[in-house]
Amino acid sequence: MSCAWCELFPPFVRSVRSAYALPGGQAEHIVHALKYHGWWQVAAAMARRMAVLRFPPDVERERAALVPVPLARARERERGYNQSAELARNLSLLWGIPVRSDLLQRGRATVTQTRLTPGERRRNVAGAFHASADRASLRGLHLVLVDDVVTTGATLNACATALHDGGARILSFVTFGRAPAVGDRW
């Protein structure tokens, strides 16, 4: 029997882990500080919480690189940094896995997902990402996508699809926070 959450992800997504349940509590405040208030330094402490998450043994053996979810250029200029890249950079130091920001690009800006329905979120990010590496360099890799929060999985799934279509064999996700899925009991 699979959970409602697992059904949100494509078959080439091997494992998904998040350090905290959202919304609510201090974890939500920490995410907002990172994302909207310029507290990029908090990414180190967030990554420490993410680093202790256990993945299946095959994922821990195979993961070749961490890939941060890319921001639109305008949003990154406005914010001054990419929060996912900050998390990946700090997580890389703890896991001893390289960060590969060169493998995935955002081809177009999208509207913020915060007030969109699950269907609107999927449509908003559909086709927004593409693999920027050649197939030969992605072939057979197990990559771990890094983001601050997974809500419906739309953004991470769009990124994973682009990397898988580009040649990556399998993807896993790691986030600091996770919103509840339908049927979750906290």
List of long-range contacts for 20-24, beta carbons under 8 Å, 24+ apart? 20/49, 20/176, 20/177, 20/178, 21/177, 21/178, 21/180, 21/186, 22/149, 22/177, 22/178, 22/179, 23/179
pLDDT digits (tens, 9 = 90+) for 60-99: 999 999 999 998 888 899 999 999 999 999 999 999 999 9
CB atoms within 10 A of CB 138: 23
Q: Is residue 47 part of a domain?
A: yes
Q: Return the half-sphere exposure (C-beta side, CA atoms, 13 A cut-off) of residue 139.
A: 4
Q: Give the span between the Cα atoms of 51 and 73, in whole angstroms.
A: 28
Q: Return d(Cα 65, Cα 85) in angstroms, integer.
A: 13
Question: What's the domain count of the chain?
Answer: 1
Is 2 among the domain residues? no
pLDDT greater than 70 at residue 2: no
Return the pLDDT at 99. Answer: 98
- What's 102's domain CATH number? 3.40.50
Q: Does any domain span residue 4?
A: no
Hey, what amino acid is at 111? V
Task: Give domain status of residue 62, yes or no.
Answer: yes
pLDDT value of position 90: 98
Identify whether 33 is part of a domain.
yes
C-alpha span between 162 and 167 (Å, rounded): 9
Give the β-pairing of 104-106 and 129-131.
antiparallel
Range of the domain at 150: 9-108+116-178
pLDDT at 124: 67
Q: Is residue 20 over pLDDT 80?
A: yes
pLDDT digits (tens, 9 = 90+) for 100-156: 999 999 877 676 766 766 667 777 667 778 888 888 889 999 999 999 999 888 899
Contact between residue 168 and residue 138 where contact means Cβ atoms under 8 Å apart: yes
Q: Lowest-pLDDT range, 18-22, 35-39, 67-71, 131-135?
A: 131-135
Q: Look up residue 167 and give its DSSP letter.
A: T
Instruction: Confirm if 116 and 85 have CB atoms less than 8 A apart.
Output: no
186 part of a folded domain: no
Whether 100 maps to a domain, the answer reads yes
Looking at the domain assignment, is residue 137 inside a domain?
A: yes
